[in-house]
């Protein structure tokens, strides 16, 4: 990315920041968003069905997230608008709201929680894109592609800090402390993964610990703290914590499989970054675990040469009968295990929706099978 010229939003009138960002987004992603919608319609429709139950609350979350931009200095507000304006699946807010409904009545505290966990997630994406040198996310240029790494790192920092500031507003101070601990765990997981790049001694167990920290922990906090806000029984709180933890871990396995088996026109983001950066995810580790010495050497050379496409073919069709499919099965099994935790919980339409959320994620896994 050296030699690229970045145009700072601060060179423009601050009153036009939001309009500028809106135009950037519309120009860059109008065509690709249509491709994304068409290619991933089935799981998306199922997710939309799940979200219907809390749709009014999700709209409040969207409004609140948009309103957070005004809390920042006008000189940087436009960058924040750009970061929070590209909507993803909003799985973490959805989980927080459904867990809130499953354990009581969705209230303003659950809305606050949903906003906070999504801001933390967005902050991690901004940082991820810097580390991966990703050029595109959610069908638009990443912040680092548009304004460079230095500014983007600080943008992610600002979003993290603001989310933690919001978490201090809960009357129950334990909630704020739990969110702060979760943010620390997320960042620690990212650091450990970066530390273990190109590490052939990385085991499946090591990988699972990393994804549990960097993704499972935030999903877990969304579900657990939603139950805490509802003042649910401690056993119920523990059940939702477990559900979120397993669903979040499974979702990271899915995301890692997408990085290898997805297509950029469908996902709207730069793919293959894990291999290029030496991040050995579950398909690679499963392959290495049962590969011959010749295949291991070939795998290592392909990674070092950044021959991502050839490496992906090896993962699909290797002697171990497809490490990618085995990873997909592992992720789906984890979701089924998560769904079983509700066996001891009184059913209601929100727990049913959480179960359906698991089914939707399984559908997303199935679309990746080769």
Report DSSP state, residue 140. E
Q: What is the pLDDT of residue 318?
A: 54
In a domain, 1, yes or no: no
In a domain, 220, yes or no: yes
Give the strand pairing for 136-137 and 140-141. Answer: antiparallel
Helix (H), strand (E), coil (C) string for 140-174 = EECHHHHHCHHHHHHHHHHHHHHHHHHHCCCCCHH
Separation CA 132–CA 279 (nearest Å): 10
What are the residues facing 136 on neighbouring strands?
141
Do 291 and 317 form a contact (C-beta atoms < 8 A)? no
In a domain, 4, yes or no: no
In a domain, 181, yes or no: yes
Tokens 């789906």, located at residue: 332
Q: What is the pLDDT of residue 18?
A: 41
Nearest by Cα to 147 from 261, 20, 232:
20
Give the count of domains, the chain: 1
Q: What is the pLDDT of residue 351?
A: 97
pTM, two decimals, is 0.87
pLDDT in tens for each of the 370 residues of the chain? 444 444 444 333 434 334 433 333 333 433 333 444 444 567 788 899 999 999 999 999 999 999 999 999 999 999 999 999 877 889 999 999 999 999 999 999 999 999 999 999 999 999 999 998 888 887 789 999 999 999 999 999 999 999 999 999 999 999 999 999 999 999 999 999 999 998 988 999 999 999 999 999 999 999 999 999 999 999 999 999 999 999 999 999 999 999 888 877 677 777 888 888 889 999 999 988 887 888 888 888 888 888 888 887 777 775 445 888 999 999 999 999 999 999 988 899 999 999 999 999 999 999 988 6
Q: What is the pLDDT of residue 247?
A: 98
In a domain, 137, yes or no: yes
In a domain, 103, yes or no: yes
Q: What is the pLDDT of residue 330?
A: 95
Separation CA 300–CA 298 (nearest Å): 5
Q: What is the pLDDT of residue 184?
A: 97
In a domain, 7, yes or no: no
Nearest by Cα to 14 from 70, 98, 93, 55:
70
Q: What is the pLDDT of residue 6?
A: 47
Q: What is the pLDDT of residue 127?
A: 95
Q: What is the pLDDT of residue 24?
A: 32
In a domain, 6, yes or no: no
Q: Residue 279, SS3?
A: coil
Q: Domain span at residue 188?
A: 15-366
Which CATH number covers residue 46?
Answer: 1.10.600.10
């Amino acid at each position: 990315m050296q030699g690229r010229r970045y145009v700072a939003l601060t060179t423009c009138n601050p009153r036009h920041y939001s309009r500028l960002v809106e135009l950037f987004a519309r120009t860059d992603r109008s065509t690709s968003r249509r491709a994304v919608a068409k290619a991933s319609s089935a799981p998306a429709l199922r997710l939309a069905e799940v979200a219907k139950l809390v749709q009014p609350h999700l709209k409040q979350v969207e409004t609140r997230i948009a309103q957070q931009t005004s809390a920042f200095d006008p000189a940087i507000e436009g960058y924040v608008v750009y970061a929070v304006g590209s909507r993803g699946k909003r799985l973490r807010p959805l989980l927080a709201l459904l867990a809130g409904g499953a354990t009581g009545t969705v209230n303003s505290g659950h809305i606050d929680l949903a906003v906070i966990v999504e801001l933390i997630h967005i902050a991690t994406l901004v940082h991820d894109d810097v580390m991966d040198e990703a050029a595109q996310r959610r069908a638009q240029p990443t912040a680092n592609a548009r304004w460079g790494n230095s500014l983007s790192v600080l943008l992610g920092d600002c979003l993290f800090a603001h989310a933690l500031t919001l978490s201090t507003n809960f009357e129950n101070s334990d909630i704020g402390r739990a969110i702060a601990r979760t943010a620390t765990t997320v960042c620690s997981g990212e650091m450990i993964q970066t530390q273990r790049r190109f590490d052939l001694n990385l085991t499946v167990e090591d990988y699972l610990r990393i994804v549990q920290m960097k993704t499972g922990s935030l999903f877990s906090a969304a579900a657990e703290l939603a139950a805490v806000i509802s003042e649910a029984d401690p056993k119920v709180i523990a059940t939702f914590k477990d559900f979120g933890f397993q669903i979040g871990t499974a979702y990271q396995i899915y995301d890692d499989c997408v990085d290898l088996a997805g297509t950029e026109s469908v996902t709207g983001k730069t793919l293959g970054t894990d291999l290029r950066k030496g991040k050995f995810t579950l398909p690679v580790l499963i392959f290495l675990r049962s590969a011959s010495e010749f295949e291991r050497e070939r795998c290592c050379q392909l990674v070092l040469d950044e021959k991502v496409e050839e490496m992906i073919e090896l993962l699909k069709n290797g002697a171990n009968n497809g490490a990618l499919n085995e990873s997909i099965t592992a992720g789906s099994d984890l979701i089924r295990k998560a769904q079983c935790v509700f066996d001891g919980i009184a059913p209601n339409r929100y727990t049913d929706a959480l179960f359906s959320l698991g089914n939707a994620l399984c559908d997303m896994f199935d679309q990746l099978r080769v």
